[in-house]
Each structure stands twice: as C-alpha cells, then as structure tokens.
C-alpha cells in the first residue's frame, strides 16, 4: 500500500478518536435526559436520568436494560442488599438495582430480604424485633454463607449514594408502611431515580394515591391483568409492567408497548438456571421479543453475553 494512503488512514483514525473523546466529554458535561446512559470514570457505566418517565417510556427507553436482583445475589464475597455490592455491580455493567426493604423494631427502614436475620447476616431472629442500632453492627454473609466486612445499610444511605449513579427498584416488604418509604424518597429528592414494586393492582391504587409521581412496577402477566390496569385509571407514565418469571407471550410485550408501558421480564429461578446451564441466549431472547429490561440473578453474565 502506498505511504500516502497509510498516512491518510492514520489521520482518519486519529480524527475519529478525537471525535469520540469529544463526544464522551459532551455527554458528561451537557447531559441530555433522553440519552440516559453516560460514562462516569473510565470503567463505570451508570443508568441516570433527569426524567424517569422518559427513561421508562417505550419511545425513549434504552434497549437491553438489566435489573440486578437483590443487587448481587450469587457473586462470591458480595452479599445481597449491600451498598458495597451495588458498587461492585456498577463496576461491571449499568444496572437497575433491585433491593428489599424491611423495618426494624424502632421503625427504621433498612435493606434485608428475609423476615429473619439468620440467612444473610451474623445475627438471628426476626428483623422487626431488633433495633436498627443492633442490626447495623451485624456482618453480612454472601450466598455461600461466608462472613464479609459489610453491614446492612439504611434505605436513606442507599438513596443518597444513588444520585447520579443508578436507578433503584425498591421491593417494599410486608409491614413496611408505604408512607415511610415515600417520606425517605422525598427527603432524598430521589423521585427521578426510583421505582417501587407493588404486588397487586389494589396495592398500586393505594400507593398511587399516596404518591402519584412515583413510578411503580406492577404485575401484568397476561391480557386480563393488562385490561385491569388499563381500566384502573393509573397513567401509563408511572407504570412499568413486570411480566412474571415464566415464558411471556410476545404479543403481551407488543400490547404493553402500544399502551406506552415498558416490560420487565423476570428470569429468576428456572429461567436463570436454564441460562446458566445452556447459555444466556435462553433469556436474552426476551429482549428480541419486546422486553426492555430483564431482572436476573446473573446480571454480569447476561451483560457480557449481549455485548459480546
């Protein structure tokens, strides 16, 4: 190849690299809410938006979003529902971080999945019978039962930490009053970075009356549930559909998108186990079928599969 052509190619490559650098810089300094993913540091990629309703609308939602179930459920040394584990996940992929909320005996909202402390901490007994001062001194266990140096965090700590970094999906467990969670969200000015999980349409109606501006994940697993939500009067812009953890009909994804509602396909349990043994195309297919987000216990593996 003549030297002049090589020189031109080299100049072209350098120009493209310069333009890429300028683009990344512009993303960080002149953030556009409709372009919701941006680079922060060299290795961390975050979901971030200034308009959560756009972020979760079919017209503007990102493709192939991943929700990390309990943050980090099956990664050695990184316990579930843990602030440090959320950091670990975000070092590997952009993710919506799902977490579970419990109430201590002194009415403090903190992160824990089970009713009892036994499985995931060095403590024992029912969480709602312990003060948060005692709970906060416990060490968290990873999925193998190994003790870590991490402690159960407050919801308020996680809400403050999440600013500019992540969208949070809050699973409000039994006996945790909606009002307490709403107060925490508003105190942290976090409406634009949270979604709450409700498990029935009745619960959705109650929560929506209390906080009409907060996005909810509502179970919509079939056409009947879709019609019931449509008739509820809850506006589509505050609804994200959870289509369940079984194989979802592609037509349901299409109907939801036509209503202005994006879908989260859960792959927890059997679908995740199938992907782990037979390959992650077994669950990545839901993106092709019309889901905008997959909620999985294996977020790093799924992200690696769809990006390689």
Instruction: Give the domain CATH number at 201.
Output: 3.20.20.190
Same-domain status, 14 and 96: no
Task: Judge whether residue 23 has pLDDT over 60.
Answer: no
Same-domain status, 135 and 95: yes
pTM listed for this prediction: 0.85
Same-domain status, 81 and 208: yes
Residue 241 and residue 220 in contact, taking contact as beta carbons nearer than 8 Å: yes
DSSP secondary structure letters along 115-147 = SBSTTTBS--SBGGGS-HHHHTTSPBB-TT--B
Q: Mean pLDDT across the stretch 285-296?
A: 97
Task: Judge whether residue 52 has pLDDT over 80.
Answer: yes
Same-domain status, 187 and 72: yes
Q: How far apart are the first and last CA of the chain?
A: 32
Q: Mean pLDDT across the stretch 97-113?
A: 98
Position 19 confidence tier, pLDDT thresholds 50, 70, 90? very low
Task: Judge whether residue 218 has pLDDT over 50.
Answer: yes
Task: Judge whether residue 233 has pLDDT over 80.
Answer: yes
Task: Please report the pLDDT score of residue 248 as a whole number.
Answer: 95
Q: How confident is the prediction for the chain on average, in pLDDT?
A: 88
Same-domain status, 84 and 20: no
Position 45 confidence tier, pLDDT thresholds 50, 70, 90? low
Same-domain status, 18 and 158: no
Give the model confidence (pLDDT) of 184-211 as tens digits: 999 999 999 999 999 999 999 999 999 9
Query: In angstroms, what CA-CA distances link 62 with 4, 47, 52, 200, 273?
Result: 42, 10, 12, 26, 26
Q: Distance (Å, rounded) from C-alpha 190 to C-alpha 194?
A: 6
Task: Judge whether residue 55 has pLDDT over 70.
Answer: yes
Same-domain status, 3 and 61: no
Task: Please report the pLDDT score of residue 27 as a whole number.
Answer: 31
- The token duo for 149 is 């140096």
User: Under 8 Å CB-to-CB from 266, ≥6 apart: which residues?
Assistant: 242, 243, 244, 245, 294, 295, 296
Tell me the β-bridge partners of 218: 241
Q: Mean pLDDT across the stretch 64-88?
A: 97
Same-domain status, 13 and 72: no
Segments forming the whole domain that contains residue 26: 1-30
Going through 55-189 in order, the beta strands assigned E by DSSP cover 65-68, 96-103, 109-111, 168-172
Cβ atoms within 10 Å, residue 245: 16
CA dihedral 268, 273, 279, 280 (to 10 degrees): 10
Percent of the chain whose predicted confidence (pLDDT) is above 70: 85
Q: Mean pLDDT across the stretch 80-101?
A: 97
Residue 127 and residue 152 in contact, taking contact as beta carbons nearer than 8 Å: no
More confident residue, 245 or 21: 245
Same-domain status, 205 and 233: yes
Same-domain status, 26 and 167: no
Contacts 24+ apart (CB under 8 A), 121-127: 121/152, 122/147, 127/102, 127/103
Same-domain status, 173 and 282: yes
Number of domains present in the structure of the chain: 2
Residue 287 and residue 64 in contact, taking contact as beta carbons nearer than 8 Å: yes
Percent of the chain whose predicted confidence (pLDDT) is above 90: 84
Q: What angle do CA 165, 73, 141 make, to 5 degrees?
A: 105
Same-domain status, 25 and 130: no
Q: Mean pLDDT across the stretch 237-242?
A: 98
Nearest to 241 by CA among 214, 225, 261, 255: 261
Instruction: Report phi then psi at 131, rounded to 5.
Output: -75, 155
């Amino acid at each position: 190849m003549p030297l002049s052509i090589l020189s031109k190619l080299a100049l072209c490559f350098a120009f493209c690299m310069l333009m890429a650098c300028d683009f990344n810089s512009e993303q960080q300094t002149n953030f556009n809410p409709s372009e919701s993913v941006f680079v922060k540091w060299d290795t961390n990629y975050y979901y971030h938006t200034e308009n959560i309703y756009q972020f979760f609308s079919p017209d503007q939602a990102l493709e192939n979003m991943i929700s990390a179930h309990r943050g980090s459920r099956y990664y050695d040394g990184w316990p579930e529902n843990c602030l440090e584990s959320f950091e670990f996940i975000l070092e590997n992929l952009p993710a919506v971080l799902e977490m579970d909320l419990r109430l201590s005996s002194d009415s403090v909202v903190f992160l824990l999945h089970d009713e009892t402390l036994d499985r995931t901490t060095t403590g024992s007994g029912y969480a709602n019978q312990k003060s948060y001062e005692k709970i906060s001194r416990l060490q968290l266990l990873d999925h193998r039962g190994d003790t870590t140096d991490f402690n159960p965090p407050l919801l308020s700590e996680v809400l403050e930490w999440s600013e500019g970094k992540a969208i949070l999906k809050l699973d409000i467990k039994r006996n945790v009053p909606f009002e307490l969670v709403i107060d925490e969200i508003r105190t942290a000015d976090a409406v634009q970075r949270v979604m709450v999980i409700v498990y029935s349409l009745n619960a959705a109606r109650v929560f929506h009356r209390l906080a009409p501006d907060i996005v909810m994940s509502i179970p919509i697993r079939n056409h009947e549930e879709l019609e019931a939500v449509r008739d509820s009067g809850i506006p589509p812009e505050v609804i994200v559909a959870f289509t369940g953890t079984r194989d979802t009909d592609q037509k349901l994804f299409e109907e939801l998108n036509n209503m202005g509602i994006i879908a989260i396909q859960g792959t927890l349990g059997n679908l995740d186990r199938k992907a782990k043994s037979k390959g992650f195309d077994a669950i990545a297919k839901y993106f092709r079928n019309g889901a905008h987000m997959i909620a999985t216990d294996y977020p790093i593996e799924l992200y690696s599969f769809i990006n390689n």
